[in-house]
Every structure is written in C-alpha cells, then in structure tokens.
Amino acid sequence: MKDLDPAVFVAVFREMFGVMYLPMVALFVLGAGALIVAIVKDGGINGRRLIRAEIAGLAGGFAGIALLLWLTRSSLADALGGPIDWLLLIAVWTGGAIVATCVAYIALGLLGVPDPARERSSA
C-alpha cells in the first residue's frame, strides 16, 4: 500500500462498524456542525464555558472506560495485562473525555446556559 486512498479507509471502517457506520458518520457531522454553531453563536470560544465542559470531560473519560469494559464483558483486572492494554485504556479515556467535553460545550452553548461573567459586565 504505497498510496493513502480514502476509499480504502471507508471500506475498512464500513467492514468494522457494519450497519452502525452511516449513523456514526451522521452523528459526527451533526456534532461537528453543532459545535461550530455554538462557537459562532458565542463569537468565539467562551473560556468559562470551556472550563465547565472540561470538568464534564473528566467524567466522560471514565464513562468511556466503563463502556469499553461493558462492551467487552471484561473487568479492569483483565486490562492489567501489558503496556498495550494501558495504551488502549489511555486512548479510550482520552476519546471519552474529548467527546464529553464537546457535548457539554455544545449543550451549554446551545441550550442558553447564561455566562455569569457576561451578565455582570452588562449590568
């Protein structure tokens, strides 16, 4: 495989995810669009809202690991096998934290949760 062909990646992902491939792509596109709308609505990234979303991201990382253990029907003791297991757990935790941070930022931005700093400055 000398060239990186996007069609190969699409074929591999379709084989891996089966019927969940297209709903996952649609969810990704909707989520990215919602994040862009939230950032544009705020006029940039709101620092206070991002910090609140990052706190939710901490819980999302642990939820990602819990989901992994539930889907694989294993326990945390099974993940202590070797370095690659630890790398996988770190990757899953990071992915869960990123997704939860994005979802929390979108929810805080689009649901109209007020920013206390902007309310004080406008009063």
- Residue 34 in any domain: the answer is yes
Task: Grade residue 120 by pLDDT with cuts at 50, 70 and 90.
Answer: low
The verdict on pTM exceeding 0.95 is no
Domain count, the chain: 1
Distance from chain centroid for Cα 5: 26
Mean pLDDT, residues 70-85: 80
pLDDT of residue 71: 84
SS3 content of the chain, % helix, strand, coil (to 5): 85, 0, 15
- Residue 84 in any domain: the answer is yes
Range(s) of the domain holding residue 61: 6-122
Task: Grade residue 118 by pLDDT with cuts at 50, 70 and 90.
Answer: low
Task: Grade residue 123 by pLDDT with cuts at 50, 70 and 90.
Answer: low
- Residue 1 in any domain: the answer is no
| Side-chain-side CA neighbours of residue 56 (13 Å) | 17
Most confidently modeled of 8-22, 55-69, 76-90, 106-120? 55-69
Helix (H) or strand (E) holding 68: helix 47-71
Neighbour count for residue 109 (Cβ, 10 Å): 23
Asked if pLDDT for residue 92 goes beyond 70, the answer is yes
**Assigned token pair, 119:** 């309310």
DSSP tag of 3 = S
